[in-house]
Amino acid sequence: LRSLSMAYAGTDLTLTEHSLKRIADLKNLHTLDISSIAAVSNAVLTEIASGCKELRDILVRSCTYLGDDGVCSLAQLSHLEHADLSGCLLVTTKAIQTLLNAFPIQPDNTSVKEKSRQHTVTVVVGGTICDVGSLRTRKSRMVVDQSDYSSLSSSTARDLLVRSFIIDALNAEEDDSPMDNDRSIAEWAEREARELGLIIK
């Protein structure tokens, strides 16, 4: 099997971390789309990257529990050509910089054969909390695409967040998140993730 798409499949109860880790057994996989699956976590992506060394194209759009550790595991994929992280709110500048550093442009004294194996790698970061302006892209063959191809528009995402907070309020769960603008939402999401131990700065 060279291509697998499970995007938007199953529910939080039917697709578990354990079941998704089995994807790592597909050693010849070139293309994988596991977008918008809640069980996609750092541990799941790390396991997949360790087992599927031939991966070239991976889409993990809107995976809300995927953070820096999982994304950093993609650095070991020497054949990687495209990674779409759109809408992964826990992915920070640190992880993207790690990927940029993992795919350097080979020096001028590299053999022609080695240079011919080099390819451009694209990483899509729209909808993450990556500050593209602070990335050091020089000497990397990775291209940072700021597009957001995740399934939710920002207004739909905001509506879902508001609905979630209303449900939490009705269930007597306290919530102090600001909902003024996209920047305050991103800052709030990063702060909450840090408090939960999902990201470390």
Measured between alpha carbons, how far is 73 from 83 in angstroms, rounded to an integer? Answer: 12
**For the residues 157-165, what does the mean pLDDT come to?**
55
- Residues ≥6 apart with Cβ < 8 Å to 148: 86, 87, 124, 126, 127, 154
Question: Do the domain assignments include residue 125?
Answer: yes
Same domain, 114 and 191: no
Query: Residue 19 and residue 157: Cα distance in Å, rounded?
Result: 27
**Residue 153 confidence (pLDDT):** 44
Work out the average pLDDT over 181-201.
73
The domain tally of the chain equals 2
Let me know whether 145 and 184 are in one domain: no
Do residues 96 and 192 both lie within one domain? no
Question: Are residues 133 and 172 located together in one domain of the fold?
Answer: no
Q: 135, 153, 171: which is the final residue of a domain?
A: 153
Q: For the segment 118-149, what is each residue's pLDDT rounded down to a tens digit?
A: 789 999 999 999 999 999 999 999 999 999 98
pLDDT average, residue stretch 149-154 = 63
pLDDT in tens, 37-87: 999 999 999 999 999 999 999 999 999 999 999 999 999 999 999 999 999
Cα separations (Å) of 78 from 28, 116, 127? Answer: 14, 14, 25
- What is the reported pLDDT for 156? 53
Percent of the chain topping pLDDT 70: 77
The residue among 118, 126, 129, 119 whose CA lies nearest residue 145 is 126
Q: Does residue 163 have a pLDDT over 60?
A: no
Q: Is residue 158 part of a domain?
A: no
pLDDT band of residue 154 (cuts 50, 70, 90) is: very low
- The dihedrals phi and psi of 59, each to the nearest 5 degrees, come to -120, 120
Same domain, 145 and 167: no
Collapsing DSSP to helix, strand or coil, 84 comes out as strand
Q: Calculate ∠ Cα 199-16-75, nearest 5°.
A: 45
The pLDDT value given to residue 192 = 75
Model confidence at 108, in pLDDT bands (50, 70, 90)? low
Q: Residue 158 pLDDT more than 70?
A: no
DSSP string, 8-53: T-S-TTTS-HHHHHGGGG-TT--EEE-TT-TT--HHHHHHHHHH-T
CA distances, 174 to each of 2, 108, 168, 171 (Å): 46, 58, 7, 9
Q: Which of 47-61, 86-100, 162-176 has the lowest mean pLDDT?
A: 162-176
Q: Which two tokens stand for residue 104?
A: 């350097």
Burial of 32 (0-12, 13-18, 19+ CB in 10 A): buried
- Structural domain harbouring 18: 3-153
- Alpha-carbon span 67 to 101, nearest angstrom: 18
Say which amino acid occupies 55: L
Mean pLDDT of the residues in the chain:
85
